[in-house]
Amino acid sequence: MNFRKIGVIGAGTMGQSIAEMLAYKGMDVFLMELTPAKLEQGLRSIEISLDKQIEKWALTQAEKKLILNRIHGVSDMSDFSQCELIIETITEDLERKKAIIAAADRACPPDVILASNTSTLSLTELASAAAHPERVIGMHFVYPVFKVDLVEIVRGLRTSDATFKSTKGFVEQVIDKKGVMVFESPGFITTRLICLFINEALHILEEGVASVDDIDSAMRIGYSFQHGPFEMADRFGLDSVHAALESMFREYGELKYRPSFILKKMVRGGQLGVKSGAGFFTYDEDGDRV
């Protein structure tokens, strides 16, 4: 299967990052958002991200222009008619995601693969919204998608072998990332492990064992993490970490997934990390720590 044109639904953090990576790899990307303002904001954020990469010598001005030329903002699924693959990246809300999958299923011919970037939700349940559940699959990217060469490929109960084979080919040969196959389970591999890691760091903080800085330094220096658990949580978005833990707590019913009270309090207070400028640390407009 040829992959030249890809539809991306949602221009939030993950949608931007996926669109940017796909365009860098040479594909035409059709990025869809609910409102022109949100779309504009998403495209602007992609440009800022590309500028930051130029500052780090990762890209040239010509490459930036080329990438931006390949990303086309759209407002309707009828613009996906030429796409071979659609990736939805909206927030982790089962009903909203089901509605998006159902709409994409109606709008696209049955040979188009419908992928969800969900990190915790049931693929089987998402696929149940489609008349063709065999073409629905999970493709869970890790942020920042440009740098992290890993995708969790998640099969729902009715995902066909052909859909899985094409998706694996896309991940490993077209976008050159390592695809790990995961059977449906809340949080898959990465979200389940990393959220527990962050939650345990929060418990250490709650118990007064160590400070935010020292916990982050210990894990960053001691175990070669790029960021410690608190900066990592800030970068994922504290609301996203909270939602993932809540979802796994509900699904597994085990106390270890119950979100820490500090996390709940910060989310209620609107301290969401990089996206709000403040979380455990403070950040400037470019997402750099102040």
Q: Known binding site for CoA: residues?
A: 49, 56, 119
CA distance 223 to 75: 44
Contact map string, positions 93 to 132, toward another protein, x by CB under 8 A: ----------------------------------------
Binding residue (CB under 8 A) for another protein from 1, 39, 66, 278: 66
Q: Compare residues 106 and 147 and give the one whose CB is closer to another protein.
A: 147
Is residue 56 near another protein by the rule CB under 8 A?
yes
81 sits near another protein (criterion: CB under 8 A): no
- Would you count residue 290 as binding another protein (CB under 8 A)? no
Q: Which of 133, 136, 102 is nearest to 116 (CA)?
A: 136
What is the token pair recorded at 85? 């693959």
φ and ψ of 6, to 5 deg: -125, 135
Cα atoms in the 13 Å half-sphere on the side-chain side of 54: 13
| Contact pick of 44, 96, 106, 147 for another protein (by CB under 8 A) | 147
Query: What's the Cα-to-Cα distance from 224 to each of 8, 114, 200, 221, 232, rounded to whole Å?
Result: 33, 36, 18, 5, 13
Instruction: Based on the shown chain and the rule CB under 8 A, indicate whether residue 65 belongs to the binding site for another protein.
Output: yes
Instruction: Tell me the closest approach of the beta carbon of residue 217 to another protein, in angstroms.
Output: 16
**Residue 224 interacts with another protein (CB under 8 A): yes or no:** no
Opening angle at CA 252, ends 250 and 258, nearest 5? 60
Of the candidate residues 48, 58, 99, 221, the single one contacting another protein (CB under 8 A) = 58
CB atoms within 10 A of CB 78: 9
Residues that bind another protein (CB under 8 A): 26, 56-60, 62-63, 65-66, 69, 147
